[in-house]
Amino acid sequence: MGILETELAELQQCVPRVIADSTVEACVPAMVRVNIERTKYKQIVACFQFQPDYPSSLALIELKSRHVSEKLLDGLVKLCEEEAKKYLGKPQVLHVLRFVRNFIDENPLCCCSEEISNVRKKLIAGSDELKLRQKTSSVVVKVQEGQYVMKYNITVPENYPDKQVGIEEKECNFPSVFRRWFLAQATEIARQCVEPPAKKRPKDPPFVLRPSMEPVVSFLVSEVHLYPKLECKMCRKKAFPTNPKDIETSESGPLHVERIYCGHVYHNKCLDKYIRTPPFQGGKKCHTCNNKIYHDKWKLTPETAEARWAHKQAKQRELDEVVDFLS
């Protein structure tokens, strides 16, 4: 029996025992094919072909996967070839299979490598940062606009993308109302990627599960870059102070930044004045998008707001009359 035949016989016996979650799909002189599947999305098929002078020459290695990106597989093939070179003249296949299995275990973010690549190319710019933490299967996103900074930890679960990413705020110097919005909306975006709507409308298309990391990071990056540049549409001044230390922390303070339902912003005093003064017909509309203004602090109907304004004006007229009489 030749060297290759001996190696093939050993592979059939030991691969299922030595390489976790592996299946030998072919093991003949023309090709060895082994499927390694830690999860549905962390799965790689390793194929080996042999030249006549093997093992004096390298086995030809090809890696395939239904979900791992081609770019990552191409890089992994080069690493496998370097690993195989260490065993020239000896059986190589089992060593390469062990290397591939270790790569999957030590790089849990391989299941979202394409998303990470997209984020780096399309979203991360300037002083923004994206750092990978393979040991904790997480991504640290740091976004900066002027002196405003947000840092989030995005955890990728073992059965991703069937399950949504975990989201944790590590650092943020935005007002508390915006911090709550960033976290709540990012969590909701992630949920919508993996859960169908609770109430499905008849004309809605069938629900399709989507990876949640890229949409979450895209939202956080765009929001952090957007808000420090916006102006209050009433006073036409920047809504946020240049220095975050000057932020109005009291939610009832005059310069507290209010985010209305449509996403645009006003100073607290400006929005309060706008809502409480005429005209009231049809409700108040956003100066930017012309959508009706909704906000938890201002739930007055147009009729109530108009009645209160009229009452206030009447009181003011009475006061003016008294002043005129006394003068």
C-alpha atoms less than 13 angstroms from C-alpha of 197 in its C-beta half-sphere: 9
Question: Cβ distance 107 to 116 under 8 Å?
Answer: no
Question: Inter-axis angle of helices 70-85 and 113-122, to 10 degrees?
Answer: 120
223/117 same-domain check: yes
Beta-bridge partners for 231:
238
Q: Domain holding 26: CATH number?
A: 3.10.110.10
The DSSP letter of residue 176 is H
What the block records as the tokens of 282 is 């049809």
Final residue in a domain of this structure, among 90, 106, 122: 106
Per-residue confidence (pLDDT) for residue 197, from 0 to 100: 86
Beta strands 148-155 and 257-259, pairing class: unpaired
- The answer on 210 and 169 residing in a single domain is yes
Q: Is residue 92 part of a domain?
A: yes
pLDDT given at position 309:
44
Last residue of a domain, one of 106, 121, 150: 106
* Spans of the chain, pLDDT less than 70: 1, 279-281, 295, 298-327
Strand partners, 169: 152
| Assigned domain for 198 exists | yes
The SS3 of residue 307 is helix
What distance in Å separates the CA atoms of residue 92 and residue 97, rounded to the nearest whole number? 9
Domain-located, residue 143: yes
Laid out side by side, the sheet with 138-145 consists of 129-133, 138-145, 148-155, 166-172
Block residue for tokens 């499905």: 200
Query: Are residues 297 and 257 in contact, defined by beta-carbon separation less than 8 angstroms?
Result: no
Last residue of a domain, one of 106, 127, 144: 106
Q: Is residue 251 part of a domain?
A: no
Token match 């035949």: residue? 5
Residues 99 and 122 in one domain: no
Sign of the CA dihedral 120, 79, 45, 74?
positive
- How far apart CA 14 and CA 6 sit, in angstroms, is 12
pLDDT per position as a tens digit, 25-48: 999 999 999 999 999 999 999 999
- Omega cis (within 30) before 279: yes
Q: Is residue 144 domain-shared with residue 223, that is, in the same domain? A: yes
Among the residues of 54-92, which ranges form H helices? 70-85
**pLDDT at site 125:** 82
How confident is the model at residue 68, as a pLDDT?
Answer: 94
Same domain, 225 and 116: yes
The tokens for 93 are 């296949």
Asked if residue 77 and residue 22 are part of one domain, the reply reads yes
Same-domain status, 7 and 82 = yes
In a domain, residue 81? The reply is yes
The whole-number pLDDT of residue 275 equals: 82
Burial of residue 187 (number of CB atoms within 10 Å: 0-12, 13-18, 19+): middle
- Tell me if 292 is assigned to some domain: no
Confidence (pLDDT) at 1: 52
Q: How many domains does the chain have?
A: 2
Q: Which of 283, 287, 311 is nearest to 299 (CA)?
A: 283
What is each CA distance from 24 to 2, 54, 131, 223, 279, in whole angstroms? 21, 20, 36, 48, 76
Cα(147)–Cα(228) distance, rounded to whole angstroms? 9
Judge if 59 and 133 occupy the same domain.
Answer: no
91 inside domain = yes
152 with 185, same domain?
yes
Query: Which pLDDT value is given to residue 281?
Result: 67
Domain of residue 182: give its range. 112-229
CATH assignment of the domain containing 152: 3.10.110
Q: Is residue 308 part of a domain?
A: no
Q: Report which of 287, 250, 247 is spatially closest to residue 271, judged by C-alpha positions.
A: 287
Inter-residue contact 152 to 32 (CB < 8 Å): no
| DSSP codes of every residue in 219-284 | HHHHHHHHGGG-B-TTT-SBSS-SSGGG---STTSTTPEEEPTTS-EEEHHHHHHHHHSS--TT--
| Residues paired with 198 in a beta bridge | none
Q: Are residues 16 and 83 in the same domain?
A: yes
Taking the alpha carbons of 188, 193, 199, 203 in that order, is the dihedral positive or negative?
Answer: positive
Distance CA 80, CA 61 (A): 8
**Domain co-membership, 87 together with 137:** no
- What six digits make up the tokens of 83? 């690993």
Residues 86 and 41 in one domain: yes
pLDDT in the model for residue 276? 80
> Please, what's the b/e burial string for 283-305 (b: 16 or more CB within 10 A of its CB; e: otherwise)?
ebebeeeeeebeeeebebeeeeb
How much is the pLDDT for 310? Answer: 47
